[in-house]
Structure 1
Amino acid sequence: MAFLQINYYSNVLGMDRVMNVILPELSEHNPQWTNTVLQDIPVLYLLHGMSGDQAVWQRRTNIERLVRQTPIAIIMPSTDLAWYTNTQYGMHYFDALFEELPQKVAELLPQISTKREKNFVAGLSMGGYGAFKMAFSGQKFSYAASLSGALLGDPNFPERDTWQNSAYWQGIFGNLDKFMGSENDVLTLATKQDDSQQPLPQLYAWIGEQDFLYDNNEQAIAHFKALGYDVTFETDPGEHEWYYWDKKIERVLEWLPIEYQPEKRLS
């Protein structure tokens, strides 16, 4: 596998950005991979949570080792602290990641598939929210996974007085009293997509039983299931910590429609 740090210019945001990429390559360790195999490669967009960036998944999990023998590309972008959202202060992070980033990937890495059935998205916490938001916002992603996702839709969330001051949340989402039912509410987006009669993404969600977002996840997942989404929902003892996300990202890889090959001992 190759690891690439790609610095590129975002016309949407008007500034330089960075994405980290894990990319299958021809190698003596994987003689079964041919030029044919390494065309139209499936891709997982892997999203970070609050306080993270494009490097955090690689720094705190085994993601690169896990996919070492699986022909899948991993794209790791950054949304800073903008919640994968077109903010009220004029920075269109959602458009930059949902619309522009796949175009940039197709331009720079043409061996990566642009087909919906081979494009997947996953994330943790804020990134779990971002993954479902992207999956519900169009027909780009066929599978979406949330680990300890901040799925919102709960009138008691975000806990703005505990996490950040209200000015921060209003800068992202606008009037918080109008959040539910807005373009940033994943429950509303899921309902609209269901009403559109377009193909629905497959969903996976995991949440630790001691996680402060546990009730939030239960409510959101019940909503998705009631709409008819195919949802795999799993829980275990656990908290809002990297120890669990490192374990559960392998579960996501097993769940995706790819020929996941756990790493064998290599020299």
Structure 2
Amino acid sequence: MARLAVNYYSQVLGMDRMMQVILPELSDHMPAWTAADLQDIPVLYLLHGMSGDQDVWSRRTSIERLVRQTPIAIVMPSTDLAWYTNTTYGMAYLDALLDELPKKVATLFPQISQKREKNFVAGLSMGGYGAFKMAFSNDQFSYAASLSGALMGDPNFPNRTTWQNDAYWEGIFGDMSQVLGSKNDVITLAKQQVASQKHLPKLYAWIGEQDYLYQNNLTTLPQIAALGYDLTFETSPGTHDWYYWDKQIERVLEWLPIAYQPEERLA
């Protein structure tokens, strides 16, 4: 596998951006892939949480090792602290990631598939919200996974002032009392997708039972499932911590429709 740090210019945001890319390649140290095996390869867009960036998944999990034997690309972008949202202060982060980034990936890495059935998105915490938001916003992704997602699908969302001040939240979303039912509410987006699209993404969610977002997930996810989504929702002991996300990202890889082959299962 190759791991690439890619600098590119975002026309949407008007500034330079970075993404990390894990890309399968032909090598004596890799499985007996042919050039044909590495064409039209599936891709997982892997999203970070509030304290992270495009490098954090590579630094704090085993993602590169986990996919070493599997022909899948991993694209890890950054949204800074913008919650995968077109902010009220005029920065269209959602458009940059949802529309512009896949086109940039297609230009730079033509071997990565653009087919819906081979495009997936997953994230943790803020990135779990982002993964569902992106999957509900258009027909690009066939699978979406949220790990410890801050899904904001209920009026009792945890006290935001413990993370940032009110001015920060209003800069992202505007009037926070109006978020539910808006374009930034995952349940509203899911309802709109059900009404407008024939194909719905398959969903996976995990939350630790000691996570402060546990009740948020228990409230939000059944509402999404009731709309007709194929949702796999799992819980287990755990807190809001990389120890658990490192374990759960492998569960996501097992769930995706790819030929996932961890090293320890090789003959």
Shift of 1:31: 4.3
Residue 252 (structure 1) aligns with: 252
Distance 1:214 1:46 in 2: 21
Residue 56 (structure 1) aligns with: 56
Structure 2: stretches of 5+ with no match in the other structure: none
Residue 170 (structure 2) aligns with: 170
Distance 1:226 1:264 in 2: 38
Residue 232 (structure 1) aligns with: 232
Shift of 1:150: 0.4
Question: Where does structure 1 differ by over 6 angstroms across 4 or more consecutive aligned residues?
Answer: none
Shift of 1:47: 0.1
Residue 82 (structure 2) aligns with: 82
Structure 1: stretches of 5+ with no match in the other structure: none
Residue 121 (structure 2) aligns with: 121
Distance 2:45 2:66 in 1: 15
The Cα RMSD (Å) is 1.2
Shift of 1:198: 2.2
Sequence identity percentage: 76
Distance 1:180 1:68 in 2: 41
Taking structure 1 as the reference length, the TM-score comes to 0.97
Shift of 1:265: 9.1
- 8 Å Cα contact 2:158/2:213 also seen in 1: no
Shift of 1:197: 3.8
Describe the superposition over 1:153-204 as per-residue Cα deviations: whole angstroms up to 9, x where unpaired.
2112252222211000000000111100110000100111111142000000
Residue 133 (structure 2) aligns with: 133
Question: What secondary structure is seen at the aligned counterpart in 2 of 1:227?
Answer: coil
- Compared with structure 1, are the counterparts of its residues 158 and 83 closer, same or farther at alpha carbon in structure 2 (3 Å cutoff)? farther
**Count of aligned pairs between the two proteins:** 266
Describe the superposition over 1:89-127 as per-residue Cα deviations: whole angstroms up to 9, x where unpaired.
111000000000000000000000000000000000000
Distance 1:41 1:254 in 2: 17
Question: What secondary structure is seen at the aligned counterpart in 1 of 2:263?
Answer: coil
Distance 1:11 1:257 in 2: 33
Distance 2:24 2:193 in 1: 33
Question: What secondary structure is seen at the aligned counterpart in 2 of 1:58?
Answer: helix
Question: What secondary structure is seen at the aligned counterpart in 2 of 1:151?
Answer: coil
Taking structure 2 as the reference length, the TM-score comes to 0.97
